[in-house]
Amino acid sequence: MHTRNMAEKDAGVVAKLCTELGYPASEDQIRWRFRALTGVEDHKLLVVQDDGGNVMGWLHAHVPRLLQTDAVAEIQGLVVDETHRGGGFGRLLMTEAELWAKEKRCNEVSLRSSVARQDAHRFYEGMGCQIRTTSHDFRKSLEGHAPGNATTSWTAQLRHRGDRQV
């Protein structure tokens, strides 16, 4: 097995894996998102292939530049084909992401994971990650509201932060 940078031709399999992750997406949607992200500094899109050249998983890492902390690499998405889990593909993707993070001068890798993903938590713990904090994910819908409309509200949604995370 080996990793390589994601390419536009991977959109179909990446979309299928995205759906397995719990974020249904069409091949076209992935293609557009890929085009928006590829080549953008501080984003890394990787796939892992088996020895036959089949894509078995993908990972998206990002280094947001913040005022309040030094650079930390965040894993934004990670999934391995559900019929091939436990075969080392996830570990290889994480290892490559860590190497990239070091190149970006990050001292840490972080990720947020839904409290429901117990299996993934065991994987992350095995990769040396530890839970540091638990937080809420505040959202505000911007649909159906004109800018400046006084009826917009922050009260609509309060979800656990992990609900929208990898």
Ligand X SMILES: CC(C)(COP(=O)(O)OP(=O)(O)OC[C@H]1O[C@@H](n2cnc3c(N)ncnc32)[C@H](O)[C@@H]1OP(=O)(O)O)[C@@H](O)C(=O)NCCC(=O)NCCS
Give residues in contact with ligand X (CB under 6 A). 21, 78-80, 85-91, 113, 117, 119-120, 122-123, 126, 166
Gap between the Cα atoms of 17 and 56, Å rounded: 9
CB of 148 to ligand X, least distance (A): 37
Looking at residue 77, the DSSP 8-state letter turns out to be E
Q: What are the tokens at 149?
A: 């409309």
Question: Which of 78/106 has CB closer to ligand X?
Answer: 78
142 contact partners, CB below 8 Å, separation of at least 6? 152
53/144 with CB nearer ligand X: 53
Q: Which residue is nearest to ligand X (CB)?
A: 90
> Considering the complex, what minimum distance in angstroms separates the CB of residue 78 from ligand X?
5
The least CB distance from residue 96 to ligand X, in Å, is 12
Give min distance, CB of 100 to ligand X, in A.
Answer: 17
Nearer to ligand X, 12 or 87 (CB): 87
CB 110 within 8 A of CB 69: no
Of the two residues 110 and 152, which places its CB atom closer to ligand X in the complex?
110
Using the minimum distance from each CB to ligand X, give the nearer residue, 152 or 161: 161
Polymer length of the chain? 166
| DSSP per-residue letters across 130-147 | ------EEEE---TT--T
Burial 38-60, CB ≥16 within 10 A → b, else e: eeeeeebbbbbbeeeeebbbbbb
75 neighbors 61 (Cβ within 8 angstroms): yes
Please report how close the Cβ of residue 157 comes to ligand X at its closest, in angstroms: 20
